[in-house]
Structure 1
Amino acid sequence: MRNLPGFVKRLVIGRALRSEELQETLLPKRLALPVFASDPLSSVAYATQEILLVLTLGGLAYLRFAPWIALAVVALLAVVVLSYRQVVHAYPSGGGSYEVVSVNLGPSAGLVVAASLLVDYVMTVAVSVASGVDNVISALPSLAAHRVPLALGFVAVLTATNLRGVRESGRAFAAPTYLFIASVLVMVATGLVQHALGHGPLAPTAGYGVVPAPGDAGLTGLALLMLVLRAFSSGCTALTGVEAVSNGVPAFRRPKARNAAATLAAMGVTAIVMFAGVTALALIARVRITDDPCRLTGLPGDCHDYPQRTVIAQLAAAVFGGEHSVGLYVVQTATALVLVLAANTAFNGFPLLASILAQHRFLPRQLHNRGDRLAFSNGIVALAVVAGLLLWGYRASVTSLIHLYILGVFTSFTLSQLGMVRHWNRELRAGGGPGAAAAVRRYRTARAVNAVGACVTGLVLLIVLVTKFTEGAWLAVLAAAVLWTTMRGIRRHYDTTSAELAVTDAGDQLVPPSRVLALVLVSRLHRPTLRALAYARAFRPDQLEALTVAVDRTEAADLARQWEEHGIEVPLKVIDSPYREVARPVVEYVRSMRRESPRDLVAVFIPEYVVGHWWENLLHNQSALWLKSRLLFTPGVMVTSVPWQLTSSSRAGRHPGRAPGSVRRGEPHRRA
C-alpha cells in the first residue's frame, strides 16, 4: 500500500523511458495524421452546422448563401494549407508560427502569436470535447443530465493517454480517426449517389419550417452582409488546428520537414473533401437546425422537450435509413470519438509550444522538462486543468464556447503569413549563385502564396473580431492579452535573475566571511538536538550557541536545568516570547546578530524529524518550514536542516518501490 501511488502511475502512463529512447517515439505519417490533424478533420462535424445555425436566424431563405460560404471556407483552407507547407520547409525546428513571426517581425509580435495559439489550444480542447459530448447525447439522449461529468471524464482520459507519450497517443487514436474519415466519406458518397439516382436523402427535419429570430427577418443591405459574414466566420472553425503540424515537426520521423508537409497536404485534401461533401449533403437533405428549437415549426410535440440532433446525426439517419440504423450508430460513434480526440491536436501542440516558450524563458522552465515517457508532462497537465475549468464553467456548452474560438488561430495565421512574406523578401535580396533564376522564381511564387494568405486571413480575422467580439470573443482577446503580459513579465524576471547571478569577479565572490556564527534552534533536549549540535560543531564555527524561545517559562526553565545537568558546553540562549510567537523572535535575534557584525555569516541549524508516512506529518507542527521561509529572506544567513530519521522512515526507505527522495519531513518542535 505504501507504493500504491507509484503503482497507479506506472499502470496509467507505463514504464519510464530513457532519454536515449526519444528517437523511438518519433511518428510515421500514418500516426502523425491522427495526432496532429484530428482537430481540422473533426471540425467537419460542426463547421457546416455552425454556418446553418447562423443563416437560419433569418429563416430558410438565407440558406441560399450556404454554398457560397462553404466555397469561401474551402478556398481559405486551401490557401492556409499551402502557406503552412512553406512554413514547414522554411522553419523545420518546430516553432511554427511563433518562430516565423519572432524571426521576421520581432519578439513582441511572436509573443502575440504564442499567446493567441495557447488560448486557441485551450479552446480546442473545450470545444472539441463539448461537441463530442453533444454527439454522444444525440445518440443517447438519457445522458443529457450528465453532460459536464462526461466532458471532464473525456479530458481525464485524453490527459492520461497523452502522458504515455506522443507515439502511444497516436496508436490509441489512429483507429477512431480513420474510422471517422471512412464513415463520413461513405455517408457522403452514398447520399450523393442516392441524389444522382433521383431518390436523394431527406433529413428527419426536412418538413419543418423555421421562424426567423426577432429582428432578423427580411434583412437587406449591411444587415444581410453582417449575417453572411457572421456565418462565414462560424464556418471558419474548419481551419482550427491547421498550424499544429508546423509546430510538431520535431515529432516526425526523418526527413522531418518532408513528412510533415506530406501529412499537412493529406490533411488539407481530406478536410476539404469531407467539409464540402457534408455541406452539399446537408443542403440536399434539407437539414433544419436552429439555435432555439422553438423556432422550428411543425414539431410533433412541445418544442421545449424536442432534442435537436446534430447535422451529422441527421444526415446519417437520412442516408442509412432511419434513426435506428446501424450506419447512424457507426457515424455517431465515430463522430463522438473523433470530436473528443480532436482535443488531442491541442494536447500535442500546446506542450510543444509551451516547451519552446519555456526554453526562451517566456514561461516557467518546468514546462520544458520531459516526463517519464518523454512527453512534456507539465504542459499536458496544465492544458487539461485550464480546459477542464472552462468546461465546468460553461457547462460544456458548444454554443457558449464557440464564440471564444478561432480568434487566436486567425491571429496566428495572419502574422505568420506576413512573417513569411518578409522571409521570402530576405531570400530574394540574398539570391545569387548557381541556379539563381530558378530559386528566384520559386521564392516569388512562395511570396505570392503567403501574401494572398496574409490578406485573406487578415480579412477573416477582422470579420471574426467584428462579428464575435460582443458575443464572447472579447474574453479570448483579454485572455491572450493577459498571457502576453505575463510572458513578458516572466522573461523580465529570468533576465534580471540571470544578470544578478552572473559572475563578474570570481575572486571577490570567493572572499570568506570575517567569522561564522552558528546558531542551533532547540525546543527540548533530545537526540535530534544533540545531533544538530554535533553537526554544527563539525563546521568549526567561530561562535556557537543554542537558541530556544520561551513560550512557556516553566518549560524553558526545565530545559535550562537539563542543559546544565548534562554538562553541555554550548551556551543556551533563552528568548522570552510573551505573545507565544516563535518565528518572529528567532528572526529578530538573527537580524540583530547581523546588524552587530555585518561582515559575519550566521549559520542556523534546525533539527527535523523524517517520517515515513504522509499522515505522520499531521502529528507534528510545521514551525520549521515557516522559520526557514522567514530566514531565507534574511541576507547573510544560511539555513541547514539536520534530519533525524524515525523508525517508520527507515522502513519506508527500505521499501523497494519507493522512489528516492520521497521521504516526508515534519517539524515536531513547539518553539523552534
Structure 2
Amino acid sequence: MFSNLKRLLIGRPLKSAELGEQKLTKTKALAILSSDALSSVAYGPEQILIVLITVGIAAFWYSIPIGIGVLVLLIALILSYRQIIYAYPHGGGAYVVSKENLGKIPGLVAGGSLLVDYILTVAVSVSAGTDAITSAFPSLHAYTVPIAVVFVVLITLLNLRGVTESASILAYPVYLFVLALFILIGAGLYKIATGGIPADMHAPVGTPVAGISLFLLLRAFASGSSALTGVEAISNAIPNFKEPAPRNAAKTLLAMGGLLAVLFSGIVYLAYYYGVTPKEEVTVVSQIAETTFGRNFLYFFIQGTTALILILAANTGYSAFPLLAVNLAKDRFIPRMFMVRGDRLGYSNGIIMLGVLSIVLIVAFKGKTEHLIPLYAVGVFIPFTLSQTGMILKWLREKPAGWAGKLAANALGALISLTVTVMFFLTKFAQVWPVLVFLPLILYLFHRINKHFVAVGEQLRLTTCEPPVPIEGNVIVLPVAGITHVVEHSVNYAKSLKADQIIAVYIPFEREEEAVFEEKWKRWMPDVRLVTLHSPYRSIIQPLMKFIDTVERKARENHYQVTVIIPQFIPKKGWHNFLHNQTSFVIRATLLYRKDVIVTTVPYHLKK
C-alpha cells in the first residue's frame, strides 16, 4: 500500500541514465531559481517604508535614494556571482568560495548560514504568500499557519517528483507574476503621467525631515536589502543546468538581475508617489494595485500571482538546499544520506528535511513574516560578505587578466554586504540574535560529524597498523523459546556452519517449566547442548547477555568467535507483527553493541 501511494504522489522511478533529461533550460531555471529573488519585490520595498514611517510619512521620499543604493548592491552581487559561476563551475557558491579562499571555518560559517537561510527561504516565502492571500480575503487570517503548512507539504511533494517536472509546473506562475507586475508598474506610471495620481499624496524629494539620521537611513537600507535574498541560488545550483552549465547559469543570473532591478525600482517609485503607508493586514503591493485598478479583475490577478510566486519562491530553497547539502556531505560535515538520489533522481533526503524544518519554523513563529525576514536576511548577507571577501583574496593571489575590475566589484560588494550585516545586528538585534546561537551550534555539529567520519575512515582503512584478530573456531549460541519449526530451522542452519560447539539457551520464568523443557529437549535434540537460565525477575535480555558475555570471555582466550543465531518467524501480513512480542528484535538490537559477537537472524516465513 505504501509503495502504491508513493508511486501516486511522486511518480515512477527514473533510471540513472535519465539524469541528463532532468537538467534545466535557461527559461525553466530562471523561473525555479529566481523566484525567491523576484518574489522579494513584494516585501522588500515595504521593509524600507516600515523603517521610515517611524520618523513620519514625509520621510518616504528617502525610499528613492535607498532604492538606488539597493540597486548598486544588486549590481555588485550579480557581477560577483557571475565571476563565481565561471570560477567554480561545479556549484557550491559561497560555501566553496569561502572554504577555498578563506579557510575551513569561514567556509562552514557560509555553508551553515546558507543551510539555515534556505530553510528560512521556504518559511518566509510561504508565510508572505499566505499574507497576500489573507490580504485579499481577510476572513482567512485565523487560518494562516494551517494554510502555510499545506503549501509547504504540496511544494515538497512537487519537488520529490523531480527538478524538471516541478520546473515545468512552477514556471507559469513565476512568469505570470512578472507579467502582472509589469502591467501594474506600466499602468501606475501611465496614471502618474496623465495626472491620475495627485502630486500632493507624497512629499517632494529633498523635503527636510526632522529626526532623520544616517543610522536610520542605513537601517532602512539594510531592511530593503532583504529584496536581494536568493541572488546566490543560481551559483549553488549550476549542476542543475543543461550544458554548457556555467554559461547558461551566468546568462540566467544576468536575466534575473535585470528583472529584479526593474520590478524593485518600479514598486519603490509607485509606493513613494502614491504615498502608500505600510499596514499590518494589507501589503504595499496590494495597496498600489487597489489604487491603480480598484478591486477588479486586474487587482485580484496581481494579488493572486503575487501570492503564488511568494509561495513558490520556496522552490529556490528546494533547488539550492539539497545541492549545498551534497557539497557539505562530500566534505564529511553532514550525514552521507544527503548525497543519495531518490527515485526521481533528486536528492530527496535534503528535500524532505528542508520541508520538515520549514514547517517547524512556520509553526514556531506562527506564520508572522515580519518576525522571520530579519533573521532570513542576516543569514544570507553573512555568506554574501564571506564570498565577496573570498573572491577578493582569489584575485589578489591569482591576478588573472582584468583582475583589477573584478577586484573592485567584489570589494564594493563586500563593503556593502558587511555594512548591511552590521546594521541588522545593530538595529534588529532582538530578532537576529538567534544567529549568534545557532551558528556556533551548527559549527560544533559540523566538527563532531567530521571528527566521526575521520575516525571511521582511519579504522576501516586497510593500511592501518591494527593487526587482524585470528579466528581458530566458532561457538554458536542459539536462544530458543520452545520446540517449534522455527527453532528446528535455526538448529539445522547452525549445524550446517560446522561450528565447534552449539549451545541452545532457554530462559524459563518458573522452575517447573525448566525441568519440563529440559526433558523435552533431551528427547528431541540430544546432540545439541541445552543451557537453561532461570529468570526470577521475568527478564530475558539480562540473563542472556550475562551468559553470552561469559561465553565470549572464554572463547576469546582460545581465539574462538562467538556467533548468536536468533530464530524469528515472519508473519504473512505486516500488521500481524503487532500481535506478537518482538523479543528477537530486542535481542538483536542489544547484541549489536557487543564488540566481539556476530549476530545472525534466521527467518522462518509463515504461510497463512
- TM-score, normalized by the shorter chain, greater than 0.5: yes
Q: CA deviation at 1:218?
A: 5.6
Aligned AA (1:371): G
> Unmatched 5+ residue regions in structure 2?
203-208
Distance 1:140 1:500, change over 3 A: same
Aligned: 1:334 with 2:334: no
Find the partner of 2:262 among 255, 270, 273: 273
Distance 2:585 2:105 in 1: 40
Aligned: 1:289 with 2:278: yes
Counterpart in the other structure of 1:655: none
Find the partner of 1:309 among 275, 278, 282: 282
Counterpart in the other structure of 1:47: 44
Distance 1:638 1:609 in 2: 20
Find the partner of 2:429 among 466, 469, 493: 469
Distance 2:13 2:173 in 1: 27
Aligned AA (1:190): A
Distance 2:246 2:525 in 1: 76
Look up the SS of the partner of 2:569 in the other structure: strand
Aligned: 1:254 with 2:254: no
Aligned: 1:490 with 2:449: yes
Counterpart in the other structure of 1:615: 575
Q: CA deviation at 1:418?
A: 1.1
Q: Alignment RMSD, CA only?
A: 1.8
Distance 2:168 2:384 in 1: 29
Distance 1:594 1:567 in 2: 24
Find the partner of 2:564 among 604, 609, 616: 604
Contact 1:184 1:274 in 2 (8 A): yes
Distance 1:42 1:505, change over 3 A: closer
Distance 1:564 1:173, change over 3 A: same
Contact 1:201 1:318 in 2 (8 A): no
Look up the SS of the partner of 2:507 in the other structure: strand
Contact 2:555 2:562 in 1 (8 A): no
Q: CA deviation at 1:347?
A: 0.6
Counterpart in the other structure of 1:38: 35
Superposed CA deviations along residues 494-540 of structure 1, whole A, max 9, x for unmatched, are: 0001101111379953x641321111110111000011111111111
Q: Any residues of structure 2 matched to 1:61-80 within 5 Å, and which?
A: 61-80=58-77
Superposed CA deviations along residues 210-265 of structure 1, whole A, max 9, x for unmatched, are: xxxxxxx9635xxx333322222111111101110000001101111110000000
Distance 1:507 1:241, change over 3 A: closer
What is the identity percentage for the equivalent residue pairs of Structure 1 and Structure 2? 40
Distance 1:474 1:555 in 2: 65
Contact 2:180 2:302 in 1 (8 A): yes
Counterpart in the other structure of 1:186: 183
Distance 2:367 2:303 in 1: 19
Superposed CA deviations along residues 447-471 of structure 1, whole A, max 9, x for unmatched, are: 221122112211211112222222x
Distance 1:67 1:526 in 2: 85
Q: CA deviation at 1:144?
A: 1.2
Contact 2:425 2:432 in 1 (8 A): yes
Q: CA deviation at 1:544?
A: 1.0
Contact 1:202 1:286 in 2 (8 A): no
Distance 1:447 1:505 in 2: 46
Superposed CA deviations along residues 310-344 of structure 1, whole A, max 9, x for unmatched, are: 11111111111x12x11100000000000000100
Distance 1:286 1:567, change over 3 A: closer
Q: CA deviation at 1:481?
A: 2.2
Q: CA deviation at 1:201?
A: 7.6
Aligned AA (1:252): F
Runs of 4 or more consecutive aligned structure 1 residues displaced over 4 Å after TM superposition: 505-508
Distance 1:248 1:568 in 2: 67
Aligned AA (1:500): Q
Q: CA deviation at 1:184?
A: 0.3
Q: CA deviation at 1:202?
A: 9.7
Counterpart in the other structure of 1:128: 125
Contact 1:245 1:264 in 2 (8 A): yes
> Unmatched 5+ residue regions in structure 1?
208-216, 292-307, 429-438, 649-672
Distance 2:128 2:426 in 1: 24
Find the partner of 1:319 among 280, 292, 307: 292
Distance 1:141 1:263, change over 3 A: same
Distance 2:120 2:211 in 1: 32
Aligned: 1:151 with 2:148: yes
Find the partner of 1:576 among 531, 534, 539: 534
The worse-fitting range, judged by mean Cα deviation, of 90-99 and 60-69 is 60-69
Superposed CA deviations along residues 542-574 of structure 1, whole A, max 9, x for unmatched, are: 111100112233333332222123243201100
Aligned AA (2:549): R
Distance 1:554 1:59 in 2: 91
Aligned AA (2:127): A
Q: CA deviation at 1:580?
A: 1.1
The worse-fitting range, judged by mean Cα deviation, of 453-462 and 169-178 is 453-462
Q: CA deviation at 1:588?
A: 1.0
Counterpart in the other structure of 2:385: 414
Distance 1:334 1:645 in 2: 56
Find the partner of 2:522 among 540, 543, 564: 564
Distance 1:285 1:117 in 2: 36
Find the partner of 1:443 among 403, 409, 421: 403
Q: Any residues of structure 2 matched to 1:80-479 within 5 Å, and which?
A: 80-200=77-197, 219=211, 224-290=213-279, 308-320=281-293, 322-323=294-295, 325-428=296-399, 440=401, 442-470=402-430, 472-479=431-438
Superposed CA deviations along residues 349-401 of structure 1, whole A, max 9, x for unmatched, are: 11110111111111100011000000000000000000001101111111222
Q: CA deviation at 1:22?
A: 0.4
Contact 1:179 1:334 in 2 (8 A): yes
User: TM-score if structure 2 supplies the norm length?
Assistant: 0.96
User: TM-score if structure 1 supplies the norm length?
Assistant: 0.87
Paired positions, count: 600
Counterpart in the other structure of 2:494: 536
Counterpart in the other structure of 2:205: none
Q: CA deviation at 1:89?
A: 0.7
Contact 1:32 1:263 in 2 (8 A): yes
Q: CA deviation at 1:488?
A: 1.3
